[in-house]
Amino acid sequence: MKEPVIIIGGGPAGIMTAHCLKEFGVKSVVLEKGKLGQSWREMRSGMVMLSPADASHDMTSLSFENPIWKAVPLNGPFATREEFIRYMEVFSKDSRIKLREKCTVKKICKEDDRFEVVTADGNKLEAKQGCCCRYRCDRPSLPA
């Protein structure tokens, strides 16, 4: 499979990167080892975000064009973990993000003018550019 850009990580940063590239006419695919927003799914249930998500003080939305308060019903001015996950699902669907869930990256190689990504199921993807958008950046690592 060939794509201009391979994005590793299907959280807010990966989804937003794919969205911005699409606005510039650049195709991409997002690879997520779990489900969309997996890192958020692993956080404490009922967690409330510290940034407001209402129309007058929105600091939670991924874009001004598709804000959280228009996409999902909120129970208060601060989105919960569950509301934000639902928002990422709606946002990626509305933005037509090409997403491959349950797709663990095992190897990344630079070959001449392209990147080659090998997944756990043995699939190989090629792209001119790669972008790693991982949540847990406190422990840098490369796939084995």
Q: How many domains does the chain have?
A: 1
Q: Which of 143, 137, 141 shows the shortest CA–CA distance to 119?
A: 143
Residue 14 has pLDDT above 90, yes or no: yes
Q: Does residue 128 lie in a domain region?
A: yes
Q: Does residue 139 lie in a domain region?
A: no
Residue 82 has pLDDT above 80, yes or no: yes
Q: Does residue 143 lie in a domain region?
A: no
pLDDT value for 129: 87
Q: Does residue 142 lie in a domain region?
A: no
pLDDT value for 91: 95
Q: Does residue 70 lie in a domain region?
A: yes
Q: Does residue 36 lie in a domain region?
A: yes
Q: Does residue 140 lie in a domain region?
A: no
Per-residue burial over 122-143, b if 16 or more Cβ lie within 10 Å, else e, is eeebebeebbbbebeeeeeeee
Q: Quote the domain boundaries for residue 17.
A: 2-132
Q: Does residue 138 lie in a domain region?
A: no
pLDDT, tens only, 94-143: 999 999 999 999 988 888 888 899 999 999 999 988 888 765 554 555 55
Give me the phi and psi of 14, to 5 degrees please.
Answer: -65, -45
Residue 30 is part of a domain; what is its CATH number? 3.50.50.60
pTM score, two decimals? 0.86
Q: What percent of the chain has pLDDT over 70?
A: 92
Q: Per-residue confidence at 59, pLDDT binned at 50, 70, 90?
A: confident
pLDDT value for 64: 85
